[in-house]
Amino acid sequence: MTIGLILASWRVSPVPPLRGVALTYVELVRNTPLTVNLVLLFFGLPKLGLTWSPKTTAIVGLSIYTGAFAAEVIRAGINTVGRGQVEAARAIGLSFGQVLRLVVLPQALRASIAPLGSVLSALVRNTAVAYTISVLDIMVRSDRLVTATAQVIPVLAGAALFYYSLTLPLAVGINALERRQRILR
């Protein structure tokens, strides 16, 4: 969320270099497979002298990846805020940062609850990709169980149910939050 908020703020910034950096980051990361990003971080960073554990690499890689998607969701939410509100805030002397923090982001985040819930759910499911860099997750354990038992379907169905058990409460919580924040019209 932090990466997404920063990038979305930069995307709508009046400062062209910030918009350019954010646009480049978002487009580059969103249009590159997560597996490529994780493998590049895991095997590429040690060439530059940075060595992280697989778990740290997975956390950083998933954060970088998910942040780009969150940025686009938040930017779309920012675009739902009426231009008149922004102009009124500027007319009373608020700076760009104040307009964003006090007027735009509260409304944008309210409008972004459901899509951000989808991004968060995708993050939970994307943890399975950390398997490619040897992070001991559900898929590694499932793979080991398949090797030991030769029961592919039951083991993978169990893994799917486990992911479902993680994402279902998340979806229920997001729906409740969305209902609570809904503006009655």
Provide the CATH number for the domain around residue 100. 1.10.3720.10
Number of structural domains the chain divides into:
1
Domain that holds residue 163: 2-181
Alpha helix (H) residue ranges in 81-150: 83-91, 96-98, 105-111, 113-126, 138-149
- Cα(153)–Cα(128) distance, integer angstroms: 17
Per-residue pLDDT of the chain (185 residues; tens, 9 = 90+): 999 999 999 999 999 999 999 999 999 999 999 999 999 999 998 899 988 888 899 999 999 999 999 999 999 999 999 999 999 999 999 999 999 999 999 999 888 888 999 999 999 888 888 877 777 677 777 878 888 888 888 888 888 888 888 888 888 888 888 888 776 55
Burial 141-154 (b: 16+ CB within 10 A, else e): ebeebbeeeeeeee
Task: Mention every residue, 6+ apart, whose C-beta is less than 8 A from residue 62.
Answer: 34, 38, 123, 126, 127, 130
Which pLDDT belongs to residue 184? 54
Residue bearing tokens 């675009």: 79
Tens-place pLDDT, residues 75-104: 999 999 999 999 999 999 999 999 999 999
